Structure 1
Amino acid sequence: MTNTVAHTAFNQSELGRALIDRLDEAAQYSEPGPGVTRLFCSQAHRQVLPLIGRWMEQAGLTPQLDAAGNLVGRCPKAQAGEKTFIMGSHQDSVIEGGKYDGMLGVALPLLALEALKREDVTLPFGVEVVAFGDEEGVRFPTTLVGSKALAGSVTPDQLEAQDAEGISLREALIAFGCTPEDIPATAREPANTLGFLEVHIEQGPILEQRDHAVGIVTALTGIERHKVTLSGKAGHAGTTPMNMRHDALVGAAEMVLAIDSVLQNTDELVGVVGRLDVHPNAVNVIPAQVTFTIELRSPKATIRQQGRDVVTAALTEVATRRGLALNIENTYSADAVACADWMMTALEQACTQVSQPAERMFSGAGHDGLAMQALTDIGMLFVRCKDGLSHHPDEAITAEDGEAATRVIMAFLQQLKHP
């Protein structure tokens, strides 16, 4: 490869400012309200694609929307079928999220590739950058649809998952201009894939504590999600005696506290009851049914299983004591996965090359690598975020840290050698 710096190269401060400007522009494609709300196959998703497509073209890639709602940019070598290294992250957000979760991992590698292009650097392998359509799993009760498509692990039942309006994922993809029946054909060949790397904000406080711009991820946490349906009996709120009620909401409230107690008292286990729906949700009617979600996370599968068993026993006890019907449905499960040693080493070498201290660290959040590890080796670079805050409108990074991370990726790509 060549490494001749042309007069059009970005200088040492332009990359960080350009990155922040791009992320600010992408954040405009959102539903109204605080922060960024951009759900899978939504109007905001549709509107942001031309912007990402322009970034891809500026980086020398050709953008294409695939059957699973991913926007994929490929360089000529990748299009020709040469061995390819994949980078990327998700474009979707949580409700009222921030500018950087997900979209940073789309904009930053594209900016790094554009900078290398300006410096007349030619990489000896193909490159793909993917803006995954769905990672958060907010609109549909499934997650990682985009990365699972590349890994070849999307199942027919996932396509039948429905959103709150009763629209199935299959229907949403068709309305978005995709062809769900072609999803199996989007799976990449493992032998032709060199690896997958994602850049992401840390979503935690460790890098701030270390005063480091970036960190190298060792593994991604295991995650499981459950849908709990608690059924009681509706009745008049003024005429039904208190001791004769089967109030699903009171039972659910007790269950939420029981779940919190388990989480508070179990090391290496975290979780949340993140969504709760009440029916009939009327001011003067005893709640007949409550549906809520439970998410459990731990780097150790045995701890998650033990926590799940204790939670299930506690919920069963509450339901029995209050005369309520209980149904618990597992909607998602993914074990923890390790990042490849060779990629962690390559990232460390890249950090050293651009004078950035970087230590290894565990990810307490799940990412697209959970699905991509079924296809290829994975790696991840964390970028410091203010106060460790994520999934919030005040989520923030600095231009200086964005600059540092972009330089790391540029160095990583230039010295990348697959084992």
Structure 2
Amino acid sequence: MSIKGERLKQHLEELAEIGKIGETGVCRLAHSKEDRKAVEVVKRWMEEAGLTTKIDGFGNLIGRIEGSQPDQPILILGSHIDSQPYGGRFDGTAGALGAIEVVHSMKENGVNPTRTIEVICFSDEEGCRFNKGIFGVRGLAGMLEEGELERQDKQGVTRREALKEFGVDSDMSPSPVYQKGDIAAFLELHIEQGPVLEQKKKPVGIVSGISGPIWLTVTLEGFAGHAGSVPMQMRQDALLGASDIIRRFDDLVKREGTETTVGTVGSMQVFPNSRNIIAEKVEFTVDLRDIDLEARTRLEEKLYKIIEESTAEYKLKVEIKEDTRSEPRYCADWIKDIMKEEDGKLGFDSPTLMSGPFHDALIMSYISDYGMIFVRCEKGISHNPLEFAEMEDIEKGVQLLYRTAVRISQS
């Protein structure tokens, strides 16, 4: 018994038209009009698969099919359909639509689950709009923080306002929705977003665990002045200080990081942002992650030392805000064992690999055992319109997801 690859392909192509940029890119920011349009389309596909649907107060789209023993802990499948502002067609969507295809194929193949199954398209996994992601899944798991709804995007729109425009009442009171013991397993399929599977010439991989990310926002404040008249030795140039920190941070990660350490500065705001005014204020983000928690902690401490030294040298004030902190989380051995058994039957010979990017599964791991499947993507490119995965590879990954889900749903 198999999935319907042609139907999955059609769904992926249709969803890619919503928020399309250029020939292959996608922009579906969380809680945007494009996001809502995508949710409505995917909701229809869920209902065609036999799922009853709802959109909750966090913006999550949830489909449910009752098992023959509804008192048993449930099985959840899913991913996300929001995107980066300059994103691709497969990040999140391959897993979200793949999960719907699994349930649709189970229905058509006469597979009756013992456990209730839920398919979730989690709200705002990406985090690019409000500078803090995995929002919907944190709502379900009871891991929201104070002030979540007052976070603003770059246009000054709060998350509360965006959710209202999206069409839901942003009621945080139901959080947590799930308690430990409610969920038997969570399964997520995702494109790898890295080059390992391509290097190994394998279409599918079984994930061992997810690196723990730290997200910081660093704000440096100096003093604005005329670029033509303030002597170099008298300046308090916030942009120069930021440049020094960023360069030294990059050197630190390359010099002292492990094979799995990555560090990135991906966003920067400069004030007043004029070519002939010395920068008075600079805000930039830091993303530091590793599967090795001790290594990450060691580098984080050295980063703070770099910031202290640079701000002293350039006579700057500094504020560091922690946006996200998560420890590495490992996939459940029993789920990996099922995946490996089913992978062997399919003849894929899939390798085991870790995930550098975080996913909704990272948060689900705090309330449930979880497993992940990776699908090869070309050159490891993601968060870019050039992101690409062969449909044949996606089908193989979803086939492994299907077999794993059938096993767990009937256990």
TM bucket by the smaller chain?
over 0.9
Letter in 1 for 2:239: L
Q: Distance in 1 between matches of 2:312 and 2:274?
A: 25
Partner residue, 1:366: 358
Letter in 1 for 2:240: V
Letter in 1 for 2:17: Q
Count the aligned residue pairs: 408
Deviation of 1:79 after TM superposition, in Å, equals 12
SS of equivalent to 1:142: coil
Partner residue, 2:149: 159
Letter in 2 for 1:416: I
Q: Distance in 2 between matches of 1:59 and 1:311?
A: 49
Partner residue, 2:16: 27
Corresponding position: 1:201 with 2:191: yes
Partner residue, 2:348: 356
Partner residue, 1:236: 226
**Aligned with residue 391 of structure 2, among 390, 399, 403:** 399
SS of equivalent to 1:181: coil
Corresponding position: 1:47 with 2:55: no
Partner residue, 1:249: 239
Corresponding position: 1:124 with 2:110: no
The 1:237/1:171 distance shift into structure 2, 3 A limit, reads: same
TM-score, normalised to structure 2, is 0.94
SS of equivalent to 1:312: helix
Partner residue, 2:296: 304
Q: Distance in 1 between matches of 2:175 and 2:277?
A: 51
Q: Superposition pairs for residues 95-174 of structure 1, below 5 Å? A: 95-174=85-164
Partner residue, 2:26: 36
**Aligned with residue 283 of structure 1, among 271, 275, 281:** 275
SS of equivalent to 1:216: strand
Deviation of 1:107 after TM superposition, in Å, equals 0.5
> Is 1:89–1:131's contact at 8 Å kept on the other side of the alignment?
yes
**Aligned with residue 325 of structure 2, among 326, 333, 337:** 333
Q: Distance in 1 between matches of 2:235 and 2:146?
A: 41
> Is 1:271–1:295's contact at 8 Å kept on the other side of the alignment?
yes
Corresponding position: 1:89 with 2:85: no
SS of equivalent to 1:212: coil
Q: Distance in 2 between matches of 1:195 and 1:132?
A: 16
> Is 1:78–1:84's contact at 8 Å kept on the other side of the alignment?
no
SS of equivalent to 1:95: coil
Q: Distance in 2 between matches of 1:326 and 1:188?
A: 39
Which range is displaced more, 364-373 or 153-162? 153-162
> Is 2:113–2:409's contact at 8 Å kept on the other side of the alignment?
no
The 1:149/1:310 distance shift into structure 2, 3 A limit, reads: same
Q: Distance in 2 between matches of 1:319 and 1:415?
A: 56
- 1:95-130 CA deviation, whole Å, 9 max, x = no partner? 211111111110011112212211122111111110
> Is 1:123–1:413's contact at 8 Å kept on the other side of the alignment?
no
Q: Distance in 2 between matches of 1:32 and 1:403?
A: 25
> Is 1:208–1:387's contact at 8 Å kept on the other side of the alignment?
yes
The 1:31/1:79 distance shift into structure 2, 3 A limit, reads: farther
> Is 1:216–1:360's contact at 8 Å kept on the other side of the alignment?
yes
- 1:219-262 CA deviation, whole Å, 9 max, x = no partner? 10010011111111111112222222111111211111111111
TM-score, normalised to structure 1, is 0.92
**Structure 1: segments with no counterpart, 5+ residues:** none
Partner residue, 1:226: 216
> Is 1:78–1:128's contact at 8 Å kept on the other side of the alignment?
no
Partner residue, 2:334: 342
Instruction: Report sequence identity in percent.
Output: 35
Deviation of 1:307 after TM superposition, in Å, equals 0.7
Partner residue, 1:18: 7
Q: Distance in 1 between matches of 2:20 and 2:202?
A: 33
> Is 2:189–2:398's contact at 8 Å kept on the other side of the alignment?
no
Letter in 2 for 1:335: E
Letter in 1 for 2:12: L
Aligned CA-pair RMSD = 2.0
